Amino acid sequence: MARGSSIHFENGNRHNFLHNDRTDPSKRDIFPEEKNYYSKPAFEALAEFDQLIKERQKIYEKRMGRKLHSKTIKHMSAIVNLDKHHTEEDLKKVIEYVEQSLDTKVVQFAIHRTEGHYDKQGKKVVNYHAHLEMLGLDSQGISIRRKMTKGYWMKSQTIVANILGMERGTKKVKRLGTQEFKRHAEEKKQLEIENDTLQNKVKEQEEKTKRITQKELKGVISELRKELQKMNGIREDYRLLEEEHRKLRTLIKNKEKNLQDISELKKELEEKLKKQIEEREQTRIETNQQIQKQVKRIIGKGDKSIIFNNTISFNIDELKKILTQSFKSFLGIKIVEKQLEEYQTLTKQQKQKIEVLTERLQQDGDVDSLKYEIKQLKRTINENLEDYNKIKMDYEKEIQQLKKQLPKKPSHEHNKDRDNDYKPTWTPSGPGLGR
């Protein structure tokens, strides 16, 4: 007997995505030699579904001036009967009809060839069918359920049968006997148990695919700023924190990295800040030791002060103050110079990548994905350039500050031109300081 066609619409469930790609195996898979097909994995389909639904909700709210009703059905599913010879290309024709007639978007579809059941004689009977998971809102944010009238359902049965080249199915009503009724009741109970299990797995899957939001990231950065205050952090520490914040914002926005555990992220940033502070403290200790050596060497010679250019003298305390302040500024400048160098290298790499993509675009023609990637790279370069200019301004201010710390000759000595060219004849040595 020929298998009749059928398309059946019903309210969707998030665990359908897991069932379709077999993240959750089915007990009805009794034909392991057959091969199933799915358009995309569950985690990817769920993420896309959530994003598209949010967009359509916003369209509705903007158009209507009110929020979408909480009971509006946002997810619809369809099950389509197939024969053994049908492929995904045949199913795409059905999908095209559904999307156009309902103004929706099918986010995931699958063909199952491994499912079936045993008849009364114990013989395996295969059940070729497909699943369509679609948005429950149309492009205006209106529920597509409203369009699924009795007339639409009847019309769809005929159209799908013609698309698949199958005989149109007919509705049959059969009264169940006592034994058959009991069997169906047991199957229903089993399905309820399976559904509870699937719901739990859906929650686990959602936890795995959950991403840190920009709001959560902002909260972590705010907490770390308070921690820096307690640790007596300086400008370089806050600059490092802001740089990490900028990078993570970009990663979350472009979904380039699956950031999941907010506590782990906070711990990772804390370790980076502590490492920088510890390294700076170690360098400060080493520098102080160098300063002490210089001072002891001078005192050992019996000098009470340091003479610059035979005209300016500094006592020991003044010398230590100059050395300490100069080194602190010098250390900050070196960190900034390293950041500027990293920005220049990154921008150069991104520009080279744009050149390669542009060349591919000219060869392949109008490819949307290449255009989008080029656009994203240009946007990133502009953001880097803004950060570069900001850091450069801070860098130049730091240079001017360091120059102010250099010793100046008294105003009554010689003329101003010679004062501007003045340099000390002796320069203290130490990490980052020298001739």
Which tokens go with 130? 């497909």
What's the pLDDT score for residue 430?
40
What's the pLDDT score for residue 295?
54
Beta bridge partners of 415: none
Whether 76 and 143 have beta carbons less than 8 Å apart is answered as no
CA 423 to chain CA centroid, nearest Å = 53
What's the pLDDT score for residue 17?
94
Picking from 337, 335, 350, the residue whose alpha carbon sits closest to that of residue 392 is: 337
Which tokens go with 88? 């995904």
pTM of the model: 0.43
What's the pLDDT score for residue 432?
39
Which 3 state secondary structure label does DSSP give 14? coil
Kind plus residue range of the DSSP H or E element containing 9:
strand 7-11
Find the helix packing angle between 235-254 and 368-404, rounded to 10°. Answer: 180
Whether 274 and 299 have beta carbons less than 8 Å apart is answered as no
| Residue ranges covered by each domain of the chain | 4-174, 211-293, 304-435
Write the burial class of residue 145 (CB in 10 Å: 0-12 exposed, 13-18 middle, 19+ buried): middle
Picking from 22, 27, 20, the residue whose alpha carbon sits closest to that of residue 193 is: 27
Which tokens go with 84? 């053994």
Q: Angle 388-391-392 (CA atoms, 0-180°, nearest 5)?
A: 80
The Cα-based distances of 214 to 43, 134, 281, 383 in angstroms read: 20, 28, 33, 17
Q: What is the dihedral of CA 22, 23, 26, 29, to 10 degrees?
A: 40
The strand pair at 167-168 and 4-5 is best described as: parallel
The Cα-based distances of 16 to 122, 135, 137, 143, 189 in angstroms read: 29, 13, 18, 20, 19
Q: Does domain 4-174 have CATH number 3.30.930.30?
A: yes
Sole residue written with tokens 């002796």: 426
The number of beta carbons lying within 10 Å of the beta carbon of residue 63 is: 11
What's the pLDDT score for residue 365?
61
Q: If you compute the radius of gyration of the chain from its CA atoms, what whole number of angstroms results? A: 36
Q: Left (φ > 0), alpha (ψ -120 to 50) or beta: where does 22 sit?
A: left
Q: Hey, what amino acid is at 354?
A: I
Residues of the chain predicted below pLDDT 70: 1-2, 171-185, 202-212, 252-262, 287-288, 290-340, 342-343, 361, 364-370, 384, 387-388, 391-392, 394-435
**239 CB-near residues (< 8 Å, 6+ apart):** 335, 336, 339, 391, 394
Q: 207-210: list long-range contacts, CB under 8 Å, 24+ apart.
A: 208/43, 208/260, 209/43, 209/46, 209/47, 209/258, 210/260
